[in-house]
Amino acid sequence: MLTGKTAVITGSTSGIGLAYAKALAAEGANIVINGFGDPQAIETERAGIESEFGVKCIYHGADMTKPAEIEDMIETAVSTFDTVDILINNAGIQHVEAIESFPVEKWDAIIAINLSSAFHTMRAAVPHMKKQGWGRIINTASAHALVASPFKSAYVSAKHGIAGLTKTVALEVAEHKITVNAICPGYVWTPLVEAQIPETMKARGLTEEQVKKNVLLAAQPTKEFVTVEQVAGVALFLCTDAASSITGSMIPIDGGWTAQ
């Protein structure tokens, strides 16, 4: 379905991003993965995508807080594969703390990585998509792009910003056969979610099991974590011709969270 196309996926060395990479590679897309982590583990994943799916996969270590490195990542994809067909903005970090003690440096980092990086990738990729007359941009937002939770001021602000950015760019490129959408997952069991459990325990004075049951899954009527494969499946659909009229949309995959 995607043979010959190229996908750049930020934050794709683990979790949802890696699931995106594998889902698109399984349909024939060449892949540019990006993110931090152990170099050997990243190389193992990169080589594994190539061997399992028979596509070309390269790694670019762009720091999502540095616009010049982001631009180099897009240009590297173009020089390697001729263009960028699919862009998935997935890089993200989290910090959980009350507003009065929320570290300024954490605010700045979350806004840079979770929101501003998507502006920089799109700004660099859209001209190439316009030139070829086709493109798919998918932003990993969150249920927190639609609703808020306490102690997550920076994350919620960034994700609400992603919603506005998605809608704005969708309108700008609508006549160029480029769609721009945001997937809004509820709680997905990923390293990012797992890492915020101790912070939430501290912020709310709860045990680990209480955090899982009474915080993470409290808002999801299914009482189940969303899987990375389910999120990747939605992204894959958005890359199909069947989804060519879906643009500027926030697509919840949250176990009913935002239906309440």
Asked if 63 contacts 22 with a C-beta cutoff of 8 angstroms, the reply is no
Residue 105 region by backbone torsions, left for phi larger than 0, else alpha for psi between -120 and 50, else beta:
alpha
Phi and psi, residue 205, nearest 5° = 65, 45
DSSP H stretches of helix in the chain? 15-26, 39-53, 67-81, 104-111, 117-132, 153-173, 191-204, 208-210, 228-238
CA distance 33 to 44: 12
Asked if 86 contacts 134 with a C-beta cutoff of 8 angstroms, the reply is no
Is 59 one of the annotated active-site residues of the chain?
no
CA distance 78 to 254: 34
3-state SS string over 179-192? Answer: EEEEEEECCECCHH
Catalytic residue among 20, 59, 155, 187: 155
Q: What is the set of active-site residues?
A: 155
